[in-house]
Amino acid sequence: RTVYLNGEYMPEDEAKVSVFDRGFLMADGVYEVTSVLDGKLIDFDGHAVRLQRSLDELEMRHPSSKEDLLEVHRELVRLNEITDGMIYLQITRGNPGDRDFAYPPQDTAPTVVLFTQAKPGMADSPLTKTGMKVISIPDQRWGRRDIKTVQLLYPSMGKMMAKAAGADDAWMVEDDHITEGTSNNAYIVKGNTIVTRQLGHDILHGITRAAVLRFAREAQMSVEERPFTVAEAQAADEAFITSASMFVMPVVEMDGAAIGSGAPGPVAARLREIYLDESRKTAI
């Protein structure tokens, strides 16, 4: 596999980063994951805008223009012959040459890494037929979850807790209300209304979330952006998640209780179809 590191394309085993890199020592870095379908990037613009925001919030320099980043994404898709899959991009505050809590000077070069992950047939995951099972766990992450940092230990623990419980993912709970999944935004459907937590510092502003809510409103579906509880989720007619790599995925069980009929519901299926159709049309 060919990867990109600081301006150069190289075989993955030649790509080396310093032990003093702040991404390695302090999780001082941000990332994006962009999906590729039929060799084209889904919502590249949305990811580029959120990347800029994450960098701004952490006072990190933007290492290159949006156009240059797009070119690197496209070149990696080409070099690695990706039809369906993902592109991972990570920017860290680089290597200050020593370990120090304070940020290094602004002219310290950031470390920029991109690589691809092939996922043949990713739009036809068998999970769409069965739906996902989730458990609830306390949300013990830091308070700026709107910044997409590489600090992913708690979400990893959450995935392991889900696995140990025989579930597919964990939805995190704060002050009795669900924030989001370990790597996705969370939704319930009650009657004709789609409910999902409003944007703030407590969740990631999902790029797929923004698109799906826009399509839902365009299709005259009613959307409420507010927090909801585990009990509400268990009593809902349907539930689902969204993320760049899962698109829209039904959730059929919460803490062992069936949601609705216990099978994937029509709202999630319709939103998934609209999302995939529309995103493919605007993919670049």
Q: Which residues bind ligand PLP (CB under 6 A)?
A: 33, 180, 183-185, 204, 206-209, 242-244
- Token duo for residue 148: 């997409």
CB of 179 to ligand PLP, least distance (A): 8
Can you say how many angstroms the Cα of residue 41 is from the centroid of all Cα atoms in its chain? 15
Pairing state between β 185-190 and 238-243: antiparallel
* Sheet hosting strand 29-37, strand order edge to edge: 8-11, 2-5, 111-118, 85-92, 29-37, 40-41
Contact 99, 20 (CB under 8 A): yes
Catalytic residues: 148
Q: What are phi and psi of 104, to 5 degrees?
A: -75, 170
The DSSP element (H or E) to which 277 belongs, if any, is helix 266-282
CB of 209 to ligand PLP, least distance (A): 6
> In terms of CB distance, is 57 or 108 closer to ligand PLP?
57
CB of 242 to ligand PLP, least distance (A): 6
CB of 117 to ligand PLP, least distance (A): 13
> In terms of CB distance, is 180 or 253 closer to ligand PLP?
180
Give the angle subtended at the CA of 82 by the CAs of 71 and 183, to the nearest 5°.
85
> In terms of CB distance, is 95 or 247 closer to ligand PLP?
247
> In terms of CB distance, is 40 or 103 closer to ligand PLP?
40
What is the DSSP code (8-state) at residue 123?
Answer: G
